[in-house]
A and B are shown apart, each in its own frame.
Chain A
Amino acid sequence: MTYTVEVEGLRKSFGDTVVLDGIDLRVARGTVAALLGPNGAGKTTTVKILSTLLRPEAGRVHVAGCDVLARPAEVRRRISLTGQHATVDEVLTGRENLVMMGRLRHLTKAAARERAGALLERFDLVEAADRRVATYSGGMARRLDIALGLVDDPAVLFLDEPTTGLDPRGRRDVWDTVGELAASGVTVLLTTQYLEEADRLADSISVLAGGRIAASGTADQLKALIGGETVELVLPDAGALASALSLAELRGYRARVADLSLHVPTDGTAAEVRELLEVVAGVPVLRVAVHRPTLDDVFLALTEQAVPA
């Protein structure tokens, strides 16, 4: 398999603060990878190093087949960065932004105009093309921002928190856009603090916490890390809760109590759920719910471990 991004043992600190403490990361060509982490985890620092804006301190960083330290100019020619804050020029129109970006990538005037026209169409911005970007909605501006990254067919597109600060509609807009990019075979590395976003967009997810990759894999693999599904039994009072708990523990279930609910890990099959209900048959149970683990559960479990108390 060919990797568009290959990172080994990447370290970076600012003064005494270690931001990245030995990161390994690989993004296969034509896939969407997500770097997931809370604020301050080092996501933006990683993207800045990959896009040659910052110098790595130690480690091997190859992007599009080039070492970022040895051949930064070549890396810049082959990548595209859409930063955390919209970096579109608000005074210019959408079309002017695209043409300017093409020209800065040294396309001829004619080629830059042609590219701009095609991208406006592809990103559904034709009607707004000749309006100043200041008049765009958040979602439109971010779409334009992503379009600007595609002017010269980059080998990899870095999207740093592409939906931060967008309303739900804008976020959906950007999700659709990234989904289409993925379908057309563009390699994307995106950072996000939204688990739902990583789950929905990325082929592979790396969880960044405390300067290290706490876990990586597909969304399903990450969920499997913290076990299967949980059955929640909601009970009417503390007495019922206590009897349900003792019955469950008697039969070897490792149940957890939260308020007046009992959470029991299971494999999620109907047979096991039925068996559990029979175990507590003598107790009045108000409601039963089956929970699949969300990436939030994974995220909280992993980041709590990784952050030293």
Chain B
Amino acid sequence: MSVYSRTPGPVLDVGVLLGRSLRHSARSIDATISAIVLPLLILCVFVYIFGGALEAGTPDYLNYVVPGVIVLCAAFGSASTAVSVNEDMTSGVIDRLRSLPVVGSAVLAAHVVASVVRNVVSTAVVLGVSLLMGFRPVAGVADWLLAAGVLVLFMAGVSALSAAFGLVVSSAEAAGALSFVLLFLPYVSSGFVPPETMPAVLRGFAEYQPVTPLIESVRGLLLGLPVGSSLGHAVLWWGGFLLVGVVAAGVLFRRRAGR
């Protein structure tokens, strides 16, 4: 019997490196907790502090704001891919991997998949807590699956872009800054207050930026509201970002690693 596995090389490589990335996530409890606690705090701030004053046109602001918080949580969590990719690039791990008969970009693919897995878990936690707080979705199975699908696409897109960002910047600290940029993007969308209430310039941005159709479609699907064209727009935006992220990360990886 051969000591060599019959699984095709690239599949095995991504699988093994995914196992490594997930172990890293499970063992850096602080990062995982902050990725869950931060969105929960924001949820509480908006519901219990601002919620009373805002009312946001609907009697239950909670139902309005939860999709925004879910997206915020996914954006924040996915951005951490930049840090883990950068750490691998600067620590010499990458040189070792590249001297192995391993497809170089397998390590990037593993980071992106691990990020999606991590964010599915933290999103589920945030969703669970919001259900306890009184979030009442009315979605059917198909709606749930669609909402989950578009969120996973979003996580993959942000993770791939973050991986590319992690390859550009020189340090893990700089890579960490991406989280904060992505943390603010959902604020200037329809996530927390309707864009109609914003000044004209911000409103234009809020209505057309890629996070808005995503939040609109998740909210529509979960609350049984008309989704309209927002689902299609969300898929186009984030499918496009995923493609751009994957290509950019691939090119940058080859350039940075192959000096």
How many angstroms from the CA of A53 to the CA of B99 in the assembled complex? 7
**Contact between A111 and B99, CB atoms less than 8 A apart:** no
**Contact between A106 and B12, CB atoms less than 8 A apart:** yes
Task: Give the chain A neighbours of B100 by CB distance below 8 A.
Answer: 76, 101, 104-105
Taken residue by residue from 80 to 114, chain B's Cβ proximity to chain A (1 for < 8 Å, 0 otherwise) reads as 00000000000111011111111000000000000
A84 at the interface (CB under 8 A from B): yes
For chain A, the bracket of interface size reads: 35 or more
A77 at the interface (CB under 8 A from B): yes
Task: Give the chain B neighbours of A107 by CB distance below 8 A.
Answer: 3-5
A89-B20, A104-B102 are known contacts. Are A81 and B96 too (CB-CB below 8 A)? yes
How many angstroms from the CA of A92 to the CA of B16 in the assembled complex? 13
B28 at the interface (CB under 8 A from A): yes
Nearest A residue (CB) for B94? A87
**Contact between A106 and B92, CB atoms less than 8 A apart:** no
Could you tell me which residues of chain A, from 29 to 56, have a CB within 8 Å of some CB in chain B?
48, 51-55
Task: Give the chain B neighbours of A100 by CB distance below 8 A.
Answer: 16, 19-20
Task: Give the chain B neighbours of A148 by CB distance below 8 A.
Answer: 96
Could you tell me which residues of chain B, from 9 to 36, have a CB within 8 Å of some CB in chain A?
9, 12-13, 16-17, 19-20, 23-24, 27-28
B259 at the interface (CB under 8 A from A): yes
Partner of B95, one of A55, A80, A81: A81
Interface centre among B12, B13, B95, B257 (most CB of A within 10 A): B95
A103-B12, A106-B12, A107-B3 are known contacts. Are A77 and B101 too (CB-CB below 8 A)? yes
A21 at the interface (CB under 8 A from B): no
Could you tell me which residues of chain A, from 59 to 109, have a CB within 8 Å of some CB in chain B?
73, 76-77, 79-87, 89, 91-92, 96, 100-101, 103-109
Smallest distance from the beta carbon of A91 to chain B beta carbons, Å? Answer: 5
**Contact between B99 and A51, CB atoms less than 8 A apart:** yes
**Contact between B95 and A83, CB atoms less than 8 A apart:** yes
Task: Give the chain B neighbours of A105 by CB distance below 8 A.
Answer: 100-101
Interface of chain A, main secondary structure: mixed
How many angstroms from the CA of A52 to the CA of B100 in the assembled complex? 10
Smallest distance from the beta carbon of A133 to chain B beta carbons, Å? Answer: 12
Task: Give the chain B neighbours of A87 by CB distance below 8 A.
Answer: 91-93, 95-96
State how many residues of chain B have any CB contact under 8 Å with chain A. Answer: 30
A91-B23, A91-B27, A104-B16 are known contacts. Are A54 and B95 too (CB-CB below 8 A)? no
Task: Give the chain A neighbours of B20 by CB distance below 8 A.
Answer: 89, 92, 100
A91-B23, A104-B16 are known contacts. Are A76 and B92 too (CB-CB below 8 A)? no
How many angstroms from the CA of A83 to the CA of B102 in the assembled complex? 17
**Contact between A108 and B92, CB atoms less than 8 A apart:** no
How many angstroms from the CA of A140 to the CA of B16 in the assembled complex? 24
**Contact between B16 and A108, CB atoms less than 8 A apart:** no
How many angstroms from the CA of A51 to the CA of B12 in the assembled complex? 22
**Contact between A106 and B9, CB atoms less than 8 A apart:** yes
How many angstroms from the CA of A103 to the CA of B17 in the assembled complex? 9
**Contact between B95 and A89, CB atoms less than 8 A apart:** no
A107-B4, A108-B4, A108-B5 are known contacts. Are A76 and B99 too (CB-CB below 8 A)? yes
A77-B101, A89-B20, A103-B16 are known contacts. Are A111 and B96 too (CB-CB below 8 A)? no
Taken residue by residue from 99 to 141, chain A's Cβ proximity to chain B (1 for < 8 Å, 0 otherwise) reads as 0110111111101000000000000000000001000000000
Binding site for B on A (CB under 8 A): 14, 48, 51-55, 73, 76-77, 79-87, 89, 91-92, 96, 100-101, 103-109, 111, 132, 148
Query: Would you give 22 A-B contacts (Cβ < 8 Å), ordered by A?
Result: A48-B95, A52-B99, A54-B259, A55-B258, A77-B101, A81-B95, A81-B96, A82-B96, A83-B95, A87-B91, A87-B93, A89-B20, A91-B23, A103-B12, A105-B101, A106-B5, A106-B101, A107-B4, A107-B5, A108-B3, A108-B5, A148-B96
